[in-house]
Amino acid sequence: MIKLQNEDGCQELPVIDLAGLMSKDEGARAKCASEIAVASSEWGFFQVVNHGISPKLLSQMRKEQIELFNASFSRKSTCGLLNNSYRWGTPTATAPDNFSWSEAFHIPLAKISDQSCYGEFSSLREVLVEYAAAMQKVARQLAEVLIKNLGQEFEEFEEMIKYDESTCFLRLNRYPACEISPEIYGLVPHTDSDFLTILHQDQVGGLQLIKDSKWIAVNPNKDALIVNIGDLFQAWSNDLYKSVEHKVMGNPKMERFSVAYFLCPSYDSLIKSCRQPPIYTNFTFAQYRAKVHEDSRLFGRKFGLSRFLRS
């Protein structure tokens, strides 16, 4: 059992002021970029403030999200709603420790402006469109910093990986209060299969990540977004940036909401290390997704990048 380290106040997730990236002062821009790169390699996780997304948009998103999840189960799982993306629990679970006590909508960006996905939730559409565009902007800004820090041209990177509206997605999460047992996860430990993820959580808390072999809780900060490195950036950077395991703990009394934006490349993008000697074999995003799905189906879990290690 891994002890929760920051219960005794040892370590707090870095908070980075993104205003630095926009500064006229070159030194301030370089300092901010360096903080992002260091946090990505030492933590694989960080928080950003002054990210440019208005508090109004964040609170509108939360309001719409709550209304959506308040709908009946039969309505949420109705054919057509948000691209049939409603999921609850873990269909592949074989034991309590691989079951996630949560429900979610998992919406590809390509479907976000599609009127036919919304039914009576028409005001959700406008908010999601604006939210996705705002998150995409921050995600690309961070990707640019991380790519330049690897000594690569960002334009070339974007040319190679062509973000795809059908592979980037938003996930709306709800974690109902779970009175059954404190052992049950809201979301089981996992790494994200993308370049990077940007999360907006409410004030309930429950997200934890591994740092130096210990679980660290992310204390809610109402002004911050949480950023984490995904498997693809770890492979691309040849393990310089870390895709670390994280999980959501269940809460016996309070429900919790979060929204995650996943920055993904097109399926045919080749993910190859920018450094020598490469730790992983080259793979396309389609191959990676297929392997993750196959492992979940056959073994009930994801093995992720370890499947692509060079022998």
Ligand X SMILES: O=C(O)CCC(=O)C(=O)O
Residue 20 or 250 with smaller CB distance to Fe ion: 250
Kindly write out the interface string for residues 230-249 of this chain, putting x where it contacts ligand X by CB under 6 A and - elsewhere.
----------------x-x-
**Does residue 100 interact with ligand X by CB under 6 A?**
no
Contacted by 231, from ligand X, Fe ion, none: CB < 5 to 8 Å by type: none
Instruction: Kindly state the smallest distance separating residue 201's Cβ from ligand X, in Å.
Output: 5
Residues from 186 through 225 that contact Fe ion (CB under 5 A): 192
Rule CB under 6 A: say whether 109 interacts with ligand X.
Answer: no
**Nearest distance in Å: CB 16, Fe ion:** 19
Query: Smallest distance from the beta carbon of 71 to ligand X, in angstroms?
Result: 20
Residue with the shortest CB distance to ligand X? 258
| Residue 103 C-beta: closest distance to ligand X, Å | 12
Does 62 interact with ligand X (rule: CB under 6 A)?
no
State which residue, 33 or 207, has the beta carbon closest to ligand X: 207
- Among 184, 143, 165, 193, CA closest to 40: 143
The residue with its CB nearest to Fe ion is 192
Size of residue set near ligand X by CB under 6 A? 11
Q: What b/e string do you get for 215-249 counting C-beta neighbours within 10 Å, with b at 16 or more?
A: bbbbeeeeebbbbbbbbbbbbbbbbbbbbbbbbbb
Residues 77 and 66: their CA atoms lie apart, in Å, by: 16
- Of the candidates 168, 187, 216, 225, which one interacts with ligand X according to CB under 6 A? 187
The SS3 of residue 200 is strand
Nearest-CA neighbor of 13 among 200, 237, 220?
220
Inter-residue contact 259 to 66 (CB < 8 Å): no
Specify the residue, 192 or 231, whose C-beta has the smaller distance to Fe ion. Answer: 192
CB of 190: closest distance to Fe ion in angstroms? 6
161 binds ligand X (CB under 6 A): no
Side chain identity, residue 166: S
Residue whose CB is less far from ligand X, 134 or 187: 187
The side-by-side arrangement of strands in the sheet containing 246-249 is: 185-190, 246-249, 207-211, 214-217
Letter string b/e over residues 49-87, b meaning 16 or more CB atoms within 10 A of that residue's CB: eebebeeebbebbbebbeebbebeeeebeeeebbbebbb
Amino acid at 210: I
Q: Between residues 136 and 208, which has the closer beta carbon with respect to Fe ion? A: 208
Give me the numbers of helices (H) and strands (E) for the chain, helices first please: 8, 14
Backbone angles phi, psi at 116, to 5 degrees: -70, -10
Which of 73, 64, 45, 184 is CA-nearest to residue 112?
Answer: 64
Candidate segments 8-16, 114-122, 199-207, 281-289, binder of ligand X by CB under 6 A? 199-207
Binding site for ligand X (CB under 6 A): 171, 173, 187, 192, 199, 201, 207, 246, 248, 258, 260
Binding site for Fe ion (CB under 5 A): 192
